[in-house]
Amino acid sequence: MATFSSNSRVTDDYLPIADHGVIGDLRTCALVGTDGTIDWYCCPRFDAPSVFAAILDARRGGRFALRPEEPITSKQLYFPDTNILITRFFTAGGVAEIQDFMPIMGDVREVERHRLVRRVVCTRGSVPFAIEVAPRFDYGREQHKLRFEGGHAIFEGASLALALSATVQLDQSDQDVTGRFVLGEGETAAFVLDRLTSSIVPRVCPTREAETLFRQTVQFWRSWLAQSRYTGRWREVVHRSALVLKLLTYAPSGAIVAAATTSLPERLGGERNWDYRHTWLRDAAFSVYALLRLGFTQEAQAFMGWLGDRLRDQRGPGAEPLQIMYGIDGRADLPESELTHLEGYRGSAPVRIGNGAAAQRQLDIYGELIDSVYLYNKYGEPIGIDLWDDLTRTVDWLCEHWDQADEGIWETRGGPKHFTYTRVLSWVAIERAIRIARQRGLPANEVKWARQRDAIYRQVLSNGWSTRRRAFVQHYEDDVLDASLLIMPLVKFVAPTDSRWLATLDAISSDLVSDSLVYRYDPGASPDGLRGCEGTMSLCSFWYVEALARAGRVEDARLAFDKMLTYANHLGLYSEQIGATGEQLGNFPQAFTHLALISAAYNLDRALR
């Protein structure tokens, strides 16, 4: 999928968030702009300090710029069925392209190299290029030194060292690398950035080796995607979303990050800027569900192993079995701090790293997790004894604590409340656990579980329903609507054609939907402890599509889905939110949005059949 895009940056020197593609190696990733600049790259992992972060500060963040010197227009596309990004440039003198990718290394000795390959090819005429490699280690806080040795430019900081090899002449400009070169038709150049350690030494990457790495990377992604069983109407966009979810997987642990970036704003100039490079149990569980739907079981298996490790972590007497998010390596401590020296995307400070919401109580996570275990047990493979024992202890704990207030799915910072969504997902947790036990004949305290399941159900019908609004509402203390409740028929809490649910769907359509785009809630009516407003939530927009389809409003669902597809960027990628003029806002690309797209496409396709 490709579209026209100018390479010129907006007047404040920031490309729109949507004017980027993403590449990665299942350990970290990089964002590449339509002008050929790498604006974001962390090494050696998703949550490591940045090397290039111009997307958060155009002057201090650092970048890897590679572009024609002549006035150009550009287009981007992915090499078919892969995560190899191609940026094509059209100049007065010719046509050229950059092939950006990170090889998935099979050799364990080479995995930690984290090779970032930029292969430049001139396909017509002659094109002059300029290159600037300006790393800024540790979010721009750490100084580095540059030296040339053995055909490499080596950038050394206190915490990281990188080696740049190239097939053209490079020059030194202070502690950065620059260069100019011209490619004629059929000529190529290669640039490879490697991480160095005590056991990983600089290695030249000639043109032929770059071509070999390209072919191997193509083979990896195509072999993976070939496992998909999806044959519906929206095969291209569904497969692109699946490739995004795979790209956001941290292979060493099986964890899945919520998004590739930190602090891209939900509103320009606002304070709703968060670090999403961690594993939210909710997001990861939904990702497992989406991938299982398409036939990918390996990722679900890896995540089940990661989940089992978290359940067995000792958190102290009386503590909750799980917290809402973890580091990709399973660490529980994610202290939140602000990088005051960075101005933020287009001046949207603060820039945050870490996430203070990790300490919140969000009881809905148990519903999403146990639902994913139920689906894995059904469509993947039977779960083992140890995981079941861990889950039974978790369900026993939930039976004692489900009636407590929490901060809810949206991580509001306005204090705990009795959120209806939380209660619904607590019901899901217990109901799915009972299903697993009965299907497998596994030991469980079913009488106690069933009693608590039914108590939650009756409470939601009594306290979560507003007779004044004729709808299920956000929390028990008020009559505010919340788009998270679109999940009620998706998890089978209510029938999709139940009169109460249809009334709720109508109320959400009237109050929270704007031309198929769905707001999470009204922060004016339900203060969330943060200043300012935000865009529509793309996750909720796809949930809305699925709710319409399940309610039998198939034509409305299809129109809403097709409209949502127009808000994707030129590569089929989505950030978290959509702004008032259709711009993408928030961290990018976001797993939550892409997994919801997969689920909506799957169920809408089934309804249309």
Q: Is the pLDDT of residue 4 over 50?
A: no
What's the pLDDT at 529? 56
227: in domain: no
On whether the CB atoms of residues 405 and 426 are closer than 8 A, the answer is no
* Amino acid (1-letter code) at residue 288: V
> Which phi and psi (to 5°) does residue 439 adopt?
-65, -35
Q: Which of 339, 202, 243, 213 is nearest to 29 (CA)?
A: 243
Q: CA separation (Å) from 209 to 189, 413, 546?
A: 11, 51, 46
What's the pLDDT at 12? 63
Q: Both 393 and 279 in a single domain?
A: yes
522: in domain: yes
Residues 379-397 have pLDDT tens digits of 999 999 999 999 999 999 9
What's the pLDDT at 11? 44
The contacts found for 283-286 with CB under 8 angstroms, 24 or more apart, are 283/256, 283/258, 283/591, 283/592, 283/595, 284/255, 284/256, 284/591, 285/365, 285/368, 285/369, 285/371, 285/372, 286/368, 286/372, 286/592, 286/595, 286/596
What's the pLDDT at 522? 86
Q: Where among 162, 182, 214 does a domain terminate?
A: 214
Query: Can you give the pTM of this predicted structure?
Result: 0.95
226: in domain: no
Q: Is the pLDDT of residue 199 over 80?
A: yes
On whether the CB atoms of residues 45 and 27 are closer than 8 A, the answer is yes
H/E element holding 239? Answer: helix 235-247
On whether the CB atoms of residues 20 and 32 are closer than 8 A, the answer is yes
On whether the CB atoms of residues 44 and 27 are closer than 8 A, the answer is yes
Which structural domain range is residue 162 located in? 17-214
Q: Both 210 and 240 in a single domain?
A: no
Q: Both 200 and 328 in a single domain?
A: no
349: in domain: yes
Question: Which pair of tokens denotes residue 341?
Answer: 């020296």
- Asked if the peptide bond before residue 252 counts as cis, ω within 30 degrees of 0, the response is no
Residues 553-596 have pLDDT tens digits of 999 999 999 999 999 999 999 999 999 999 999 999 999 999 99
Q: Both 265 and 334 in a single domain?
A: yes
Say which range, 298-307, 471-480, 525-534, has the weakest mean pLDDT: 525-534
* CATH number of the CATH domain containing 408: 1.50.10.10
Q: Both 109 and 199 in a single domain?
A: yes
Read off the DSSP letter of residue 134. E
Across the chain, mean pLDDT equals: 94
Q: Both 237 and 210 in a single domain?
A: no
Residues 465-507 have pLDDT tens digits of 999 999 999 999 889 999 999 999 999 999 999 999 999 999 9
| Residue predicted with more confidence, 153 or 527 | 153
Task: State the average pLDDT over residues 417-442.
Answer: 97
122: in domain: yes
Task: State the average pLDDT over residues 344-353.
Answer: 96
365: in domain: yes
The number of folded domains in the chain is 2
Q: What is the 3-state secondary structure (H, E, C) of 39-79?
A: EEEECCCCCCCEEECCCCCCCCCCEEEEEECCCCEEEEEEC
460: in domain: yes
Q: Both 528 and 491 in a single domain?
A: yes
Q: What is the 3-state secondary structure (H, E, C) of 172-196?
A: EECCEEEEEEEEECCCEEEEEEEEE
| Residue predicted with more confidence, 318 or 538 | 538
* CATH number of the CATH domain containing 126: 2.70.98.40
Q: Which of 267, 258, 248 is nearest to 344 (CA)?
A: 267
**What is the C-alpha to C-alpha distance for residues 580 and 507, in angstroms, rounded to an integer?**
21
Q: Both 208 and 247 in a single domain?
A: no
Say which range, 237-251, 521-535, 583-597, has the weakest mean pLDDT: 521-535
Q: Both 472 and 594 in a single domain?
A: yes
8: in domain: no
**What is the C-alpha to C-alpha distance for residues 580 and 535, in angstroms, rounded to an integer?**
7
Q: Is the pLDDT of residue 329 over 80?
A: yes
Instruction: For 398-433, give the DSSP string.
Output: HHHHTTS-B-TTTT-SS--B-BHHHHHHHHHHHHHH
Q: Where among 160, 184, 214 does a domain terminate?
A: 214
> Which phi and psi (to 5°) does residue 435 adopt?
-60, -45
Question: Which pair of tokens denotes residue 129?
Answer: 């290029």
Q: Both 292 and 164 in a single domain?
A: no
Q: Where among 165, 186, 214 does a domain terminate?
A: 214
What's the pLDDT at 316? 61
Residues 135-167 have pLDDT tens digits of 999 999 999 999 999 889 999 999 999 999 999
pLDDT band at 531 (very low <50, low <70, confident <90, very high): low
Q: Both 210 and 271 in a single domain?
A: no
**Owner of token pair 């990861």:** 284
Q: Both 207 and 254 in a single domain?
A: no
Which stretches within 497-537 are classed as H helix? 499-511
Q: Is the pLDDT of residue 47 over 80?
A: yes
- Helix-, strand-, coil-residue percentages of the chain, each rounded to 5: 35, 25, 45
What's the pLDDT at 598? 98
Percentage of residues of the chain with pLDDT beyond 90: 88
Computed on alpha carbons and rounded to an integer, the radius of gyration of the chain in Å comes to 24
What's the pLDDT at 192? 96
On whether the CB atoms of residues 32 and 88 are closer than 8 A, the answer is no
Instruction: Give 75's strand partners.
Output: 4, 88
Instruction: For 261-315, give the DSSP string.
Output: -B---SSTTSS---B--SEEHHHHHHHHHHHHHHT--HHHHHHHHHHHHHHHS--
Q: Which of 332, 448, 346, 318 is nearest to 396 (CA)?
A: 448
